[in-house]
Structure formats: C-alpha cells, structure tokens
Amino acid sequence: MDALEKRGNDVWVHVRVQPKASRNSIHLAESRIRVALTAPPVDGAANDALVAFLAKTFGLPRRSVALVQGEKSRDKIVRIMDTEVDHIAGILSDTLHK
C-alpha cells in the first residue's frame, strides 16, 4: 500500500482529509487513504480529530500518533510510533472491508 511508509521504528501514513463530513470514516481511494472527519478545519480542530480518530482506529494511545506534515493542508502525513507496516495495513484492511 503506497500510503504506508516504514521509517525507523515508525510507520508514516499518507492521508487525504475531508473536514466537515457528516460522520467520521476511513476509506481507500486510488491507493490513498481518505479520512472524513466531522471536525471543521478551524484552529487545528480537524488535525486533532484526525490524530484521535487514527489512534482509536489502530487501537493505540493518542501519544503514539502524531501529525508530522500538512498542518494546513488536506494532504497530511501522520507518524505512528513503534509499530510495523504489516500491523497497520492489517488493521486498515479489516476496517475498510467492514
């Protein structure tokens, strides 16, 4: 999956965010992870919601997930600390096929 990149002990997840959606959701479109969030793109609310949503989706503490790029863009890179690509890919696959 092109959206996942291993860097050291971490996995970097490339996502495209849609703020102000009707509900929080995650799906795959054109080999890219798309995350819809109910939070508006105001004062970092969508960024905070993205980190919280991904932490919950991957079953990780929030402190293990951090936004590393794209603070003011819809295209973002999120770092998931101390994990493996296969683990994250498996969770995404399970989530996307529900």
Q: Hey, where are the domains in the chain?
A: 4-96
CATH fold, domain 4-96, is Conserved Hypothetical Protein Mth637; Chain: A; (3.30.1200)
**Structure confidence by residue, pLDDT tens digits, 7-40:** 999 999 999 999 999 999 999 887 789 999 999 9
pLDDT 10s digits, 41-93: 999 999 999 999 999 999 999 999 999 999 999 999 999 999 999 999 999 99
Torsion of CA 31, 37, 39, 45, to 10 degrees: -40
Please tell me the predicted confidence (pLDDT) of residue 1. 55
pLDDT, position 60? 97
Distances (CA, A) of 84 to 29, 42, 73: 22, 32, 26
Residues in Cβ contact with 73 at an 8 Å cutoff, skipping those fewer than 6 apart: none
Cα separation, 22 vs 89, whole angstroms: 25
Sign of the Cα pseudo-torsion (48, 93, 15, 29, in order) = negative
